Structure 1
């Protein structure tokens, strides 16, 4: 997760979820804090799912091409 992205949705399911709800916050280090409000109707299990973050391309700038500079450049056709 990246600061500035939309916060991921927290979904709680289960017949006993009652008023239990969750919200997420993105931290500067890319981790999430999830806070809960409300109460389930009993002490049985509920399911909690946090939505995936946005897909991003890795930063590949300035890592080199892997070619030996003494080799001839490859031809592009």
Structure 2
């Protein structure tokens, strides 16, 4: 059994209104040191696979077919043994 941790973020070329709102709120709270905020998603998948490579392939397929919009988003996958 493996756990896939998937980090999905908007591509740099895509505007992030949610990140912009969070950035403005942080500035209003006095955190002037924060230069930029980008909001993303963290998804965890428990995958029953024979090896890490197979688990990564399953996670990548899940991202490509459903979890991430590859036109607007990038994703990174980390596989850990459970």
Q: Give the TM-score category using the shorter length.
A: 0.3 to 0.5
TM-score with structure 1 length normalisation? 0.33
Q: When you count helix as a share of all residues, which structure comes out higher?
A: 2
Bigger RCO (CA 8 Å, 6+ sep): 2
Q: When you count strand as a share of all residues, which structure comes out higher?
A: 2
TM-score with structure 2 length normalisation? 0.32
